[in-house]
Structure 1
Amino acid sequence: MLTATLAFAGVAALINVTPGLDTLLVVRTSVAHGRTGGYAAALGIITGCLAWGLATAVGLTALLTASRLAYDTLRIAGAGYLAWLGITALWRSRQQGRHDGEMDAADETAAASPDASHGRLAAFRAGLATNLLNPKAGVFYMSLIPQFIPHGAAVFSTTLLLTAIDVLELAIWFAVLSRAASALGERARRRSFRRRMEQISGITFLGFAANLVLAERA
């Protein structure tokens, strides 16, 4: 059991640090809204992973491969949400473009305003939605975790254990990412930098959306 657990931890760590949608969301949110915003987005992603892990433990994720309709419905919904995030980011960059050359003095005080809590809630929702509306996340848990469950081990408890390991690794990785990205955001106060970040994020979100639409079921 220990050998299988350590092997899973190593594989999961490699997968978790590979750049992808979750990394982009945490970095972009940390730059735009500071460390607490990045933490909120990370918490949303981790909550989604916990949900997928629990669904795998009780066998619900098998529906994603057994039912084409279930997989495609979730896939299209996820692509639509990512497209909305991309369009929103591009629109925000366009609005910020009208104020090029101004310093982000307003952003410095925004964290102390009541709107900051709303921003953190929005970041959490974005992290949760992008994870839960991605059927590939469910297929990932369903296909990877069973490979590391030793013969004769209790499937439910072992699945939850491996999920907890994956989530712990994600939490550590996202904390490092958020701290680094928020520090970068604090040093780059100019709106032009924030605008460029929104443009890159928007285009990338749209790319992920297109990939999800065109992807075949695993």
Structure 2
Amino acid sequence: MTTTLISFLFAITILTLTPGFDTALVLRSAAAQGWKRASVTALGVTLGCLLWGVAVGLGLGALLLASEIAYNLLKWLGAAYLLYLGLKLLFNPRSQPEDVKSSDSAQQRYLTCFSRGLLGNLLNPKVGVFYVTFLPQFIPAGASVALWCTLMALAHMLLGLVWNAVLIGGSHYFARHLRQPSILKIMDRLTGCVFIGFAAKLAFSRR
């Protein structure tokens, strides 16, 4: 069991460190909105991993493998959401960093950041397919599938939070320079192009 756990932690660490949409989203939030909202975004992203793990443990993830319709539906919803985020940044970039002036608007913007990270993860069926094919390899014989999938997804979530904290902390110094109006607008448009690229990659991907 020790060897299995070490193998799992090694594999999930490599997965976490691999750049993707989640990384781009967190870094963009850190540069444009500050470390607090970037942390909330990271929490939404990693919570999505936990929810996928619970779903796989309950057998719901297998639906993505068994049903072409379910997979394609979630895939196109995810691609459409990424495309929406990308186009919004591309054609409506920010010219000023976001400043919160009231507690109500602060809560609303934090919720927006959280939901953006959560939906970006949950609407990606490849995460579910990955979990349903990856996690069972590390479940001991006779153990509870639901419990182990949840625990492994929780480990992935905690590791993701630590890595995102490193990314946010590392970008803190550069964030002050990147939040200049002219640079912020360019960065938003570049990030929008990246999101559109991820949308296209997801839309044309196969299981």
TM range (shorter): over 0.9
**Which has the larger Rg?**
1
Distance 2:12 2:114 in 1: 23
2:50 corresponds in structure 1 to: 50
Aligned partners of 1:89 and 1:201 also within 8 Å: yes
Task: Please state how far the C-alpha of 1:111 moved relative to its aligned partner.
Answer: 4.1
2:78 corresponds in structure 1 to: 78
Distance 2:179 2:40 in 1: 21
Deviations along 1:182-201, whole A, 9 cap, x unmatched? 43212334211111210111
1:171 corresponds in structure 2 to: 161
1:100 corresponds in structure 2 to: none
Q: Which moved more, 1:81-90 or 1:118-127?
A: 118-127
Give the fraction of aligned pairs with identical amino acids, expressed as a percent.
39
Gaps of 5+ in 2: none
Distance 1:111 1:211 in 2: 35
Instruction: Give the 3-state SS of the residue equivalent to 1:151 in structure 2.
Output: coil
Aligned residues: 206
TM-score normalised by the chain length of structure 1:
0.89
Could you say if the C-alpha distance between residues 14 and 146 of structure 1 is closer, same or farther in structure 2, counting changes exceeding 3 Å? same
Mapping for residues 54-203 of structure 1, pairs under 5 Å: 54-93=54-93, 96=95, 107=97, 110-111=99-100, 113-114=102-103, 115-203=105-193
Task: Please state how far the C-alpha of 1:28 moved relative to its aligned partner.
Answer: 0.5
2:19 corresponds in structure 1 to: 19
Instruction: Give the 3-state SS of the residue equivalent to 1:78 in structure 2.
Output: helix
Task: Please state how far the C-alpha of 1:150 moved relative to its aligned partner.
Answer: 2.1
CA RMSD of aligned residues (A): 1.6
1:204 corresponds in structure 2 to: 194
Is 1:213 the counterpart of 2:203? The answer is yes
Deviations along 1:98-125, whole A, 9 cap, x unmatched? xxxxxx5xx38x1454433322111101
User: Which amino acid in 2 is paired with 1:201?
Assistant: T
Aligned partners of 2:32 and 2:179 also within 8 Å: no
Aligned partners of 1:5 and 1:162 also within 8 Å: no
Distance 1:112 1:23 in 2: 28
